[in-house]
Structure 1
Amino acid sequence: MPCVNLQITVGATRDQKQRLVAEITRSLVDILGKKPEHTHIIIQEIEEENWGYFGMLTDEFRARER
C-alpha cells in the first residue's frame, strides 16, 4: 500500500489538489504497478510563515521578490 505525503504551501485550489492526487496515483500505477484503490495521498498545507526557503521564511522571501 503506497502512501505519499505531499507538503505544499497554502493556496492550492481543490481542483489543483484533485489533479495532484490523480497524477500521483496514475504515476504509481504506471511506474510501479500499484493498485489505485490501495494508494493513499496525503496533502499537508503549510502556512508560508512555517516554511523556510533560501535562508528565510517563505512569506518573507516572496515579499522580497515582489
Structure 2
Amino acid sequence: MPYVNVQILSGASKSQKAEIVKDITDSLSRVLGKKPEHTHVVIQEIEEQNWGFAGQLTDEWKKSDADQPDSLPVKEK
C-alpha cells in the first residue's frame, strides 16, 4: 500500500491538487505496478510563514527578493 506525502506552499486549486493525485497514482501504477485503489496521496499545504528557504522564512525571502533589481545570477569562476 503506497503512501505518498506531498508538501507544497498554500495556494493550489482543487483541480491542481486533483491532477497531482492522479499523476502520482498513475505513475506508481505504471512504474511499480501498484493498484490505484491501494494508493494513498496526502497533500499538505504549508503557509509561506511556516516554510523556510535560503535561510529565511519564505514570505520574508519573497519580500527581500522583490526588492532586488531584475538581473541574471553571476556565475562563479
Q: TM-score range by the shorter chain?
A: over 0.9
- Normalising by structure 1, we get a TM-score of 0.95
Gaps of at least 5 residues in structure 1 are none
Q: SS in structure 2 opposite 1:11?
A: coil
Q: Write the letter of the residue equivalent to 1:58.
A: T
Bigger helix share: 1
The alpha carbon displacement at 1:64 in A equals 1.9
Q: Which has the higher contact order (CA 8 A, sep 6+)?
A: 1
1:3-42 equivalent positions in 2, closer than 5 A: 3-42=3-42
Count of residue correspondences: 66
Q: Structure 1 stretches (4+) deviating beyond 3 angstroms?
A: none
Q: Percent identity, aligned pairs only?
A: 58
RMSD over aligned CA atoms reads 0.7
